[in-house]
Every structure is written in structure tokens, then in C-alpha cells.
Amino acid sequence: MATVMCFRHSNRMIRKTLYIDDHYFMAKKEYKIGNKYTVRQLMELTVQLMHDSIPEHIDRADPKVGAVLAKEDGTLINTAYRGELRQGDHAEFTLLERKHRPDLLEGMVIYATLEPCAPGARSITKLGCAERIVNARIKKAYIGIEDPDPKVKGNGIAHLQRHHIEIGFFDRDLQEQIFAANEQFLKEAEERAKLAETEDLEQGFSELDKSLDHFDLKDFSSEALEKFREKLQIGYVLDSNDFKSVLRKWNFFRVDDKTKTAHPTGLGILLFGNHPQITYPQSLVKFTVKTQQEGRPIILDFDGPLVLMPEKIESYLEINFPKTIDRSSFARKEIKEIYFEVLREVIINAIVHRDYKIEQANINVKIDVDKIVVESPGKPLIPIEKLQNYTAPTYSVNPKIANVFYQMKFIEKRNLGMEELQEYAGRMGVNKPTIKYDEPYLYVTLWRNAEAKLSPTTDEIKAFVESKGKISSVDYATRFGSSTKTAARNLSALVDEGVLDREGENRWTTYFLKK
């Protein structure tokens, strides 16, 4: 139940709603047009407005959406919510067209709790909200959550990025509030997405949305398509026109208007192609495994369609990182299961969120004696600090791939598994996972045992060697708190990279800066 109260300010009346139910009583904060607020405060206001949305339909759930317009310095310009002035009007439309149509909005910032609808998402005669934001020359858009509706799903954000509008995301705790308020809408939208129960979708704006004219439907893997059909519980048989219609509406292939021939899109080939690595060699997942025994590391490549990779990799991890290794000890079993799930989550998310435009850069999983490093190509869309302190919001570099993996239950709804990463270190008794970005890779390091220490940077090692002139592996181990084996391995790696040189053999080996 919601009780609406009004408070008059000098220049406008601002609604204030008191939400009352069995669990809480929450009075909304008051905001005044013309005052300056922080980005966080403006996000909170947008979420607050969302709850005032007026539904349009009685046979299905409508999204609850709030929108805020502000200057770059945080000065509040105006607010809106879905259906505020007319039933069915989108919040962004109300804000930009009904309240500020004649005004110059260039350089301003818009906040919206839901991804703005993409071109073609409404009707032929109506502009999408993303188009209106572009036309208004907005400088930056903060988005609450992505729209799972199959007519939008990533295309709204992609349209903004295509027109050089900077994208930001709401904080994760606010995203959770948006998910909760829109639970029924999201559930229904995801069901519509599953069978693509809509008219033909727009082509989209990424390279993966384009058709590949040198491929045809025979280049799809029957095994991959069957896995997709089985996971989504689609009742149509593979070769039926109904199933092909589903694939087309998901934009896995397109039909040429002139020749009437079907050609897979880049998205379709990546997900279902018999040999996607021919066109996208960067889609390999490469494992390098070092063991306690001396010798060359084991090199493993996982290839084939993306939708088959999770179970291939999971089978490998089951063998090498079994969930249960000691049935007599519940605590140890629990720890191993947590470790397995976190490692799996990090690898699968790398497949989903990497930047497939970056060629000559694979996902690399480097398994060492004391740590595992997962390297994922592509700069994150959010500040690296939010990843490093485990407060990153939900986002998708590849929302359409993420949607497929979510529908197939390969990833969790919130995608990043930040909660699992936070809990992992404490439960395992090791250092927290470390996350850093060094172009072109995002590095996630998981520590394998309590004795493992954070690896020093190359600059730290160089400075230490320079201060000593020459060092041994014992010197390194003492300085950086590692085993002598790890020290020797890391120093040898720097020799291979041309950073250091060495002289002597075995335990008498010393290392020095290469001139």
C-alpha cells in the first residue's frame, strides 16, 4: 500500500510517498529542483521515482521506471516516471519530450532505472527512448538494469554507445531494489525472450549482429542447437520451421531480403557454429597447467561453439578440482565446493563478458601451484575499483550472449558472482581474489592455499634487484614471502621476458637486471 503526500517548495511541488507494508515503513527523501546532488543521490532519487510508476496493462506486468535529468555538476533539472502525465508514456519520453521539448539539453546527464528502449522497439512511427536521448545530445546516461525484453536487450545501450554517449551503471544495492520492484515484469520478459514471442527484431548495432554471407544454416552444430533447445525446453524439433523462427527472432541468423537466403550472424556462429574459431580464433579458451612436478606445463585448448564450452570446462574442472575430496569432513567438502563454484563462475563469466572485437587475444586460464589467473580480453565498462572492492554492479559487455547463457542456466542472474568472490577468501583461508586491468586483459587471480602470497609486480621485483645488484631465489623468497620454488619460477619468467639475466646453476644461480 502507498500513501501519497505532497510538499510544496518555492519553485515546484515534489511528491513524497510513504510505503507501508507488513515489513517496513519508508519515508522518501525530499529533493529540490536547482539543488546540487551527488551521483549516488541522483541514483537514489531515480529509484525513488520508479515506485510511483502507473501501470498501463491489466493482462501483463509493466516495468516500473524512474528518470532524472541533471547537469554535469549534479544540479537537478527535472524528474519523471512511467505514466506520470499520460498512461503508457515512458519515463524518458515524459522527461525529454513532454517536459523539456523546446529546451537545449546538450551536455546533460540522464539517469534511468531501466535500459532505454532501442530503435524499433516501440513501433515504426515512434522513436525509441535511446534515440530521444541521442537527439537531445545528452552527454552521459546512467542505467539501472538492462531490459530483458527481446526487442531491447542490449540494443538500447548499444545505440547510445554507438553515438558516443558515455554509459554508467547504478550501484549494485540500488540494482537489487530495481530487480525486486520489477520482479514480475522481468519474469514475464524473460519468458517472452525464451521463445522470442514478438515481431521480427531489429538487427542491432554490434558486429556480431551482422550476417556472415559466406555461412549458411548447415554451419550450425546440431549438438549445440539441441543443447539450446533442451535447456530452454523448447518443444519444436530442430529442423522445424517453428524452431528456425525462434533462432531467427533471437538474431542467430538473418534472411536476405533480395535472395531470400539465410545466413548466420556472427552471434549465431560464435554460439552454435561447427567451427567458430575459423572466423573468431580469439574465442578459444586456453588452459596452461603447471604442477608440482618439474617439466613443461600442460597446454589445453577448449574450442567449438560457446554453448558447449561450459560443460566441457566443467568436466575438466570436476576431474582436477573435485567438489568432494574427503567425505569424512563436511567442512573440507564445503570449502572445495565453494572453490569449484567460484573458479567455474570466473571462467564462464570471462566467456560471456570478454570483448570479442579484440583479435589475437584468447581467454587464458593459467593454473599454477599456488594460484589460478583468468585473463579476459577487454576493458570493463565500470571503474576497476568497483571490481576490486567487490561492489561492481550487474552489467553485460555482450548482453545477448549473457542472455543465452542465463536462459541455459550457465550463469547466475546477477552474472558477476561478486558475493561468491567476497566469501571465497574467508572460507578458504587465503588471500582475497585480486582483480586488475592491464590492456588488453582483465586479470582475476584466485589463490589456491593459505601459504600463497600476493605476487609482487614486475616493477617491485626490478626495484629490489636494483637495490641488491644481484639476488638469489632465497633472497626473493625472503623479501616477498614465497617458497623458493615459486621464487625461482617467477625469476625465470622474468628472464624469459627479457627483464632479468642470470648466471650460475642450480642453487648458486643469481639474477640481475638485463642491460
Domain boundaries, the chain: 2-195, 207-278, 281-447, 458-513
Give the Cα separation of 264 and 252 in Å (integer): 6
The list of the chain residues with pLDDT below 50 reads 1-25, 124, 198, 200-202, 324-334, 415-416
pLDDT at position 23 is 37
Tell which CATH classification among 3.40.140.10, 2.60.40.10, 3.10.20.740, 1.10.1840.10 matches the domain 2-195: 3.40.140.10
Query: DSSP of 335-365, one letter per residue?
Result: HHHHHHHHHHHHHHHHHHHS-TT--S--EEE
- Decide if 131 contacts 162 (C-beta within 8 A): no
Report phi then psi at 289, rounded to 5.
Answer: -115, 120
pLDDT at position 428 is 64
- Span 259-306, pLDDT tens digits: 889 999 999 999 999 999 999 999 999 999 887 665 678 899 999 999
pLDDT at position 457 is 79
Element (H, E) at 366: strand 363-367
The C-alpha cell that represents 94 in the structure block: 515524459
Highest CATH level, class, for 281-447: alpha beta
Q: List the helix and strand counts (H, then E) for the chain.
A: 18, 18
Q: At what angle do helices 222-232 and 399-407 cross, to 10 degrees?
A: 70
What CATH topology corresponds to 458-513?
Arc Repressor Mutant, subunit A (1.10.10)
pLDDT at position 456 is 77
pLDDT at position 129 is 94
pLDDT at position 501 is 93
pTM (two decimals): 0.75
The C-alpha cell that represents 182 in the structure block: 520489477
Q: What is the chain's percent helix, strand, coil content, to nearest 5?
A: 40, 20, 40
Give the Cα separation of 105 and 92 in Å (integer): 13
Give the Cα separation of 140 and 30 in Å (integer): 24
